Structure 1
Amino acid sequence: MKEFVVYTAMRIALFLASFGIVVGIMALLFDGTYNLLLAIILAFLVSGIASYFLLDRQRAAFAERVEARAARAAAAFDERKAREDAD
């Protein structure tokens, strides 16, 4: 669960930073005005691309955790199935 919280928090922080940068650049280029929808879309794109490179380690840790949990669930299911077959 910790890996999920860390990865999600870092994604949110990266989006907010990207949004601030995009709004700042748009405000500088367009005399203090900006289109909110366009700024959000651009921030999603920028943060998505940046997270692919910057958050690789956190994403791998989260994936390992999910894989281990899935393996435990599959083993428990197989054990219950084997007990049911034995009965």
Structure 2
Amino acid sequence: MVYTLMRLGLLVGAFAIVVGVWSLVADDVPVVWAIVIAFLISGIASFFVLNPQREQFAAKVDARASRAAAKFEERRAKEDGEE
């Protein structure tokens, strides 16, 4: 959830910067192109800026998957022992 909110914040910030700079250069700001450019900028920025949060999330997912696999193996071994 935190990563998603940070990513959304980057998108909104990039959009504001793109619209601000574009409005300084031209009178008319095409919103669709501003959104596309903001997506590109925020995607590239999030790759570098949000790397620690992404690695932390991946570690949590890996730990959860390991626990689930261990429980599955434990149940399987228990069932095999009953037969």
TM-score of the aligned structures, taking structure 1 as reference length: 0.88
* Secondary structure of the structure 2 residue equivalent to 1:21: helix
Q: Percent identity at matched positions?
A: 52
- Letter aligned with residue 29 of structure 1: V
Of residues 69, 75, 85, the one that matches 2:80 is 85
User: Is the partner of 1:25 in helix, strand or coil?
Assistant: helix
Aligned-residue CA RMSD in angstroms?
A: 0.9
Alignment of 1:48-87 (within 5 A): 48-87=43-82
Offset of residue 84 of structure 1? 1.4
Shift of 1:14: 0.6
Q: Which amino acid aligns with 2:69?
A: A
Gaps of 5+ in 1: none
Deviation at 1:64, TM superposition (A): 0.5
5 Å-filtered alignment, 1:1-16, equals: 5-16=1-12
Residue 14 of structure 2: which of 15, 18, 22 is its match?
A: 18
Structure 2 residue ranges without an equivalent (≥5): none
Distance 1:12 1:79 in 2: 40
Offset, 1:72: 0.6
Mapped partners of 1:82, 1:41: distance in 2: 52
**Aligned with residue 39 of structure 1, among 30, 34, 46:** 34
Displaced runs of 4 or more, over 3 A: none
Structure showing greater radius of gyration is 2
